[in-house]
A and B are shown apart, each in its own frame.
Chain A
Amino acid sequence: MTGKSLDIPARPYTGEKARLSRAYDYLILVLALFLFIGSFHLHVALTVGDWDFWQDWKDRQWWPLITPLMMITFPAAVQAVLWPNFRLPLGATLCISCLLIGTWITRFFAYHMWNFFPINEVLPATMLPSALVLDAILMLSNSLTVTSIFGGMVFALLFYPTNWPIFGMFHVPVEYGGAQLTVADLFGFQYIRAGTPEYLRIIERGTLRTYGQYATPLSAFCSALLCTLMYPLWWYLGKAFATTKYVKNI
């Protein structure tokens, strides 16, 4: 690199260079789309799993704790590549959008068409509002520390209120079989699934007890604290893997 070349201001390409550069953009975007649809969807299916699959798993204690904690992972890693190298504040939104594409494909074709579950029983949760805010905080702060603390917290804290308008109506009580159930519980009873018996659900178990019957805020803040730690961890994981170090000798 000579002193002369540093004097020339870098600017967007024009002409043929611009066309080729744009083609490269689309190539990377399409590859990223498929990569994140597959990998992030698999990650969430293996870690959040039943909590996201079924209405009768979406409890007020463990669901808002586990889901943001497992879903902030890929967004942090992808932001660690797209922001420091390209100043693109879309890593989180891109990951969550890809996850939703994969999730909706699976819920419709595998759960509904193939296995006959009504689609409303397997509605997925969304973290798009959390992702948008996470991207915006990173863009405005340009700081890993600020994004970890405030972005990580907001990512978790927005999760439950984002999804309550979708799932709240499934918590309307029903008298069934002499007991009070939610509509969501009733799905689990009526629409039989052999592999996931009712007792396997993790409902109000463990030492994370309710406080004056308010369980969700406690879980949300616990998740927020953990997300502030999970975010930088996965940021550095993303950074470690976004290198050409391993392919230099090819």
Chain B
Amino acid sequence: MKMSLKTLFSAACLGLCAGALAPEAALAHGEKALEPFVRMRTIQWYDVAWSKAKLNVNEEVVITGKFHVNADWPRGVAQPDATYLNVSAPGPVFIRTERYLNGQSSVSSSALKLGGDYEFKIVMKARIPGRFHLHPFVNLHDAGSVVGPGQWMEVEGDASAFTNQIKTLDGSVIDMETYGLANGVAWHGFWIALGSAWLLWWVRRPLFIPRYKMLHAGQDASLISPLDRKIGAAIIFAVPMIVFGANFVTDLKYPNAIPLQAAMDQIDTLPPAVDVGAVQVKIQRAEYNVPARAMIMTALLHNGSDHPVRVGEFATANVRFLNPAVVQPPQDEGAALAAREGLSIDTADPIAPGETRTIRITAEDSLWQRERLDGLIRDADTRMGGLLFLYDNAGQRYVSSVSAPVIPKF
């Protein structure tokens, strides 16, 4: 028994070491970590596109897309008074050179309006070669990050060829990759040399046992020599002189230095793109069928447009359930999160102009489980949300933001 336990322990240690020596790359950014109701009912992403997926160091990729800020914002999530449109990546393998929200250039945080529609554009410049998974996402103050659709990017070239030159307001051009490094290292080196000299001054003589003995024998006066005292006095005088002198010179050298900037950007909302009124949708009941992995929504639809419309897509938390009977516009986002035949309607007939009809929409796919959205029924807030896309025969798209309490069916 003793032997087998020992063997087991050794095997476990070996396994642990082997695992540590051969780590697997982490390929996710916590997209599924946030509670389903937060992912479904806060930032609702759509039409996200990437200008390219392969590029060289110093080349740029443009990410464009839209998001709707759900008006049925979860009560447990702080209001979006401070948010930051960000990009998740394994470190700054790209740099962000430009960012626009609703056409306005934005470099700081901003507040989002509930029910507001936003278009974004982010320009990224490749810095490090490799294959990286990138997502746009919105940091929500006190809530976490709501991640948008991801894309694999392949960067080729030489990292040392990367350049990032910026012109300051005093007219000088600086290289962000090396700016201030030599000066910082020099100052650190200077103080480290001085600190090391002080340490060596003491460490060179016998330390602990003899000094302890002498101290307790009442000979502590002899442990600090007059020269030690002189050096100590010199430190008290000279170090602040150097510090304040260098500080003064720096002030002279950079007279226009300013404090870190703390202003938030003010972003105006666009004219509504979601729930614009021509087509109105109200979810009357939503059931989640656990064994079938299907969300069944009973919806009251009113078609106020001039053309018959049909439900083409239900999108929630970056998962797209598509109705194959309706023509879909092409989109660039990862096909892995699209259930191409995941959406079905109980009637094939389109909703005629002026008609109000109750229909049953079924969004069915294992993606509910794979994306950990089925956990919604065990959350403290069991309301679902998403965007419903309807199309008329002329290709016009109507987007409706829907939400409803969910009843599980076991």
Task: Check B195–A97 contact: CB distance below 8 A.
Answer: yes
CA gap between A100 and B187 in the complex, in Å: 13
| Known A-B contacts A21-B209, A24-B208, A97-B192; A165 and B260 likewise in contact (beta carbons under 8 Å) | no
B195:A132 contact, CB within 8 angstroms? yes
- Interface-facing stretch out of A38-46, A66-74, A196-204: A196-204
Determine the distance from Cα of A3 to Cα of B106 in the docked complex, in whole angstroms. Answer: 81
Among B99, B243, B246, chain A packs the most CB atoms within 10 A around the CB of B243
Chain A residue nearest to B178 (CB atoms) is: A120
Q: Which of A1-37 contact B (CB under 8 A)?
A: 6, 9-13, 18, 21-22, 24-25, 28-29
CB-CB under 8 A from A79, the residues of chain B are none
Q: Across the interface, which residues of B come within 8 angstroms of A21, CB to CB?
A: 206, 208-210
Q: In the assembled complex, which residues on chain A have CB atoms less than 8 Å from the CB atom of B208?
A: 21, 24-25, 28, 86
> Which residues of chain A from 163 to 205 have a CB within 8 Å of any chain B CB?
164-187, 189-194, 197-201, 203-205
Q: Is the CB of B169 within 8 A of A86?
A: no
In the bound assembly, the distance between CA atoms of A53 and B25 in angstroms comes to 25
Q: For residue B314, give the distance in angstroms from its CB to the closest CB of chain A.
A: 28
Judge if A152 is at the interface, Cβ distance under 8 Å.
Answer: no
The answer to the question of A115 belonging to the interface, with a C-beta cut-off of 8 Å to chain B, is yes
Q: Which of A11, A18, A57, A175 interacts with B169 by CB under 8 Å?
A: A175
Nearest opposing residue in chain A for B85, CB measure: A197
* Segment from B214-222, B318-326, B362-370 that makes contact with A: B214-222
Residue contact B247 to A139, C-beta cutoff 8 Å? no
Supposing A140-B232, A166-B184 touch, asked if A182 and B169 sit within 8 A by C-beta, the answer is no
In the assembly, what is the distance between CA of A174 and CA of B94, in Å? 21
Inside 8 A of B216's CB, which chain A residues have their CB? 10
Main SS at interface, chain A: helix
- B260 and A58 contact, CB distance less than 8 A: yes
Could you say which residues of chain A place their CB within 8 Å of the CB of B181?
118-120, 123
Interface residue A223 (Cβ < 8 Å from any Cβ of B) = no
Q: Assuming the A-B contacts A172-B256, A183-B166, are A129 and B247 also in contact, with contact meaning beta carbons closer than 8 angstroms in the complex?
A: no
B191: shortest Cβ distance to chain A, in Å?
A: 4
**A77 CB, nearest partner CB in chain B, Å:** 17
Q: Cβ of A158 < 8 Å from any Cβ of B? A: yes
Q: Could you jot down 20 A-B contacts, CB within 8 Å?
A: A10-B213, A60-B259, A88-B207, A97-B196, A115-B91, A120-B180, A123-B184, A136-B233, A164-B247, A169-B250, A169-B254, A170-B179, A173-B170, A173-B256, A175-B169, A192-B86, A192-B89, A197-B84, A199-B82, A199-B108
